[in-house]
Amino acid sequence: MDEHTPLIISNEYTEIYRRLPFKLQVAYGIGHVLNDVCASMWFTYLLVFFNLVLKFTSAQAGLILLVGQVADAIATPFVGYHSDQPDNFWFCCCGRRKAWHFFGTICVIATFPFIFLPCLNCEHSSTEAQLFYYSLFVIIFQFGWAAVQISHLSLIPELTPNEHDRTKLTAVRYGFTVFSNVLVYLITWYYLHIGTGSNSQIGPDDAPKFQNVVIYGMGVGITCSILFHIFVKEENGYTGNNVRGGVPRSSISDLLCSMKLYQVAVVYMSTRLFVNLSQIFIPLYLHESLNMAASALALIPLIMFIGSFLTTFIIEFMNRTIGRRISYISGGIIGIVGCAMVRFRYGEDFINYDIYVVAILFGAANSIILVTSLGITVDLIGDKSGSVAFVYGVMSFCDKLANGIAVVIIQDFHTDASSSQYYRDIVSYVCGGSALLGILGVLSLKRMRESIAQNVPNYNSINAEANNSTSSS
């Protein structure tokens, strides 16, 4: 053991804990890049592609997204429950979490490219037939996506029992999420800006450009998934021997009877509503309300995620110094300010200058509230890693179902093509309301940290004592 590696020695659990090395943090973070690339295309460009390129109606495009969100919502508790079962998966030679990750990756690779292709051999079929065709690929893709997401999140408590290291892993994970989105938007901007006139908007001729974005983005994602499976081991030697086995596993009935589970679910659902709905509807807002060129549908989201990426460097510090509640509330307020600017600012100055400020505000808010909400979820789990995947499954179920229902309702109400400010109001009121709901949810969790502290050992103070004793010896 390296003498310079910080130790945590716990008498209660009789274990030695070493801080996670940076290379393991990076290897863990890249394990979700393929999912993130697909999610970026799914949330940002699915409605754009089906509505503006394939010429489906707004309601039909919303229905495709709803099918995917419902499939994901159903899959997440299923994957979460079975991922928590001890080594009962047929491919568990690589670990129960990584087995589901590998299985989900195969499903994503096999189906996602077909979602952004014209209907093969059925381009002239009825709309209903094409909807059925795309729905099949969407359902399998979303099952695979859920398997990767839940198994990847579930590895955090498996890799480390330390709260700050868990926050770092979450921040690293989100940093690569931002990287993935930036990559997608750079590739999209290249194809839409280079191949389209400066003032042209998206149309049916742009279908091959979206396919190129999918190919190059997934190529990077597949490479990252391979590296993740090579370098990350579930039994990594950093959590000690008793973190998983030394703590009684909470039964599912106990979890479902816990009020805190539903409080945290509201926070997580509200966070995902703000993040996903802003990602979905800002491109349509740029196209329809501001009448901006096709390249802006990549440039503005790109600036959003550059703002997110820069913010990730301070999130762990914020959570550590001012706490999760204040961090989340700060991020929520930043998001509400961005929504207010969308609603009340207009004109040439807004399009030429202020829209970039709005993009940065949305990006910073997304980063802060998403990472902090994941940290709050990890706090809820504490040291009970035996049910971690099920908890994430419950969170994701609420998130995906709420997002799918919200999108299909929003799209169904958009029946008047002449209503150019429709998406402006959606971004302002729906996204702003989601941020406000998340803030109220966090305020209801005032005493959560105190109750958790009674059940989770103070690894930081133990670490200090261990270092002191090491120095003395």
pLDDT at 37 over 90: yes
Q: Which two tokens stand for residue 434?
A: 């989601």
pTM beyond cutoff 0.85 = no
Q: Residue type for 153, please?
A: L
Residue 348 vs residue 241, higher pLDDT: 348
Please state, in angstroms and rounded to a whole number, the distance separating the CA atoms of residues 361 and 304.
8
pLDDT tens digit string along 403-420?
A: 999 999 999 888 776 677
Q: pLDDT band at residue 383, thresholds of 50, 70 and 90? A: low
Please state, in angstroms and rounded to a whole number, the distance separating the CA atoms of residues 303 and 362.
10
| Lowest-confidence region among 76-80, 97-101, 263-267, 324-328 | 76-80
pLDDT tens digit string along 163-211?
A: 778 878 888 887 898 889 889 988 988 888 765 555 677 888 888 999 9
Residue 261 vs residue 209, higher pLDDT: 209
Q: What is the pLDDT of residue 215?
A: 95
Residue 420 vs residue 39, higher pLDDT: 39
Compute φ and ψ for 357, nearest 5 degrees. -65, -45
Average pLDDT, the chain: 81
| Lowest-confidence region among 93-97, 108-112, 234-238, 410-414 | 234-238
Please state, in angstroms and rounded to a whole number, the distance separating the CA atoms of residues 144 and 32.
12
Q: pLDDT band at residue 13, thresholds of 50, 70 and 90? A: very low
Q: What is the pLDDT of residue 458?
A: 40
Q: Which helix (H) or strand (E) segment is 129 a member of?
A: helix 127-159
Residue 351 vs residue 446, higher pLDDT: 351
CA 128 to chain centre: 31
- Give the residue-averaged pLDDT of 442-458: 55
Handedness of CA 38, 371, 18, 448 (dihedral sign): negative
pLDDT at 463 over 60: no
Q: Residue type for 266, please?
A: V
Q: Are 364 and 308 in contact (CB under 8 A)?
A: yes
Q: Which two tokens stand for residue 158?
A: 């498996």
Please state, in angstroms and rounded to a whole number, the distance separating the CA atoms of residues 359 and 282.
9
Q: Are 40 and 116 in contact (CB under 8 A)?
A: no
Q: What is the pLDDT of residue 389?
A: 67
Residue 470 vs residue 414, higher pLDDT: 414
Q: What is the pLDDT of residue 5?
A: 46
Q: What is the pLDDT of residue 220?
A: 96
Residue 241 vs residue 380, higher pLDDT: 380
| Lowest-confidence region among 274-278, 286-290, 343-347, 445-449 | 445-449
Task: Report percent pLDDT > 90 for the chain.
Answer: 39
Please state, in angstroms and rounded to a whole number, the distance separating the CA atoms of residues 138 and 247.
39
Q: What is the pLDDT of residue 255?
A: 67
Q: pLDDT band at residue 77, thresholds of 50, 70 and 90? A: confident
Q: What is the pLDDT of residue 245?
A: 41
| Lowest-confidence region among 257-271, 382-396, 397-411 | 382-396
For residue 15, give the 3-state DSSP assignment: strand
Please state, in angstroms and rounded to a whole number, the distance separating the CA atoms of residues 161 and 249.
15
- Give the residue-averaged pLDDT of 48-66: 91
pLDDT at 457 over 70: no
pLDDT tens digit string along 243-254?
A: 344 334 445 677
Q: What is the pLDDT of residue 452?
A: 40
pLDDT at 74 over 60: yes
For the domain covering 27-235+252-453, report its CATH number.
1.20.1250.20
By residue count, the chain amounts to 473
Q: Exposed (0-12), middle (13-18) or buried (19+): which is 310, by Cβ within 10 Å?
A: middle
Q: What is the pLDDT of residue 117?
A: 92
Please state, in angstroms and rounded to a whole number, the distance separating the CA atoms of residues 68 and 172.
27
Burial letters for 269-298: b for 16+ Cβ neighbours within 10 Å, e otherwise? bbbbbbbbbbbbbbbbbbbbbbebbbbbbb
Please state, in angstroms and rounded to a whole number, the distance separating the CA atoms of residues 175 and 25.
11
Nearest residue to 287 via CA among 173, 395, 202? 202
pLDDT at 141 over 80: yes
Q: What is the pLDDT of residue 181?
A: 85
Nearest residue to 296 via CA among 217, 240, 350? 350
Residue 275 vs residue 469, higher pLDDT: 275
> What is the Cα gyration radius of the chain?
22
pLDDT tens digit string along 296-348?
A: 888 898 899 888 888 888 888 888 889 889 999 999 999 999 999 999 987 78
Q: Are 181 and 301 in contact (CB under 8 A)?
A: yes
Q: What is the pLDDT of residue 205?
A: 85
Q: What is the pLDDT of residue 225?
A: 95
Per-domain boundaries in the chain:
27-235+252-453
Residue 87: which region, alpha, beta or left (left: phi > 0; alpha: psi -120 to 50)? Answer: left
Please state, in angstroms and rounded to a whole number, the distance separating the CA atoms of residues 141 and 135.
10
pLDDT at 431 over 70: yes
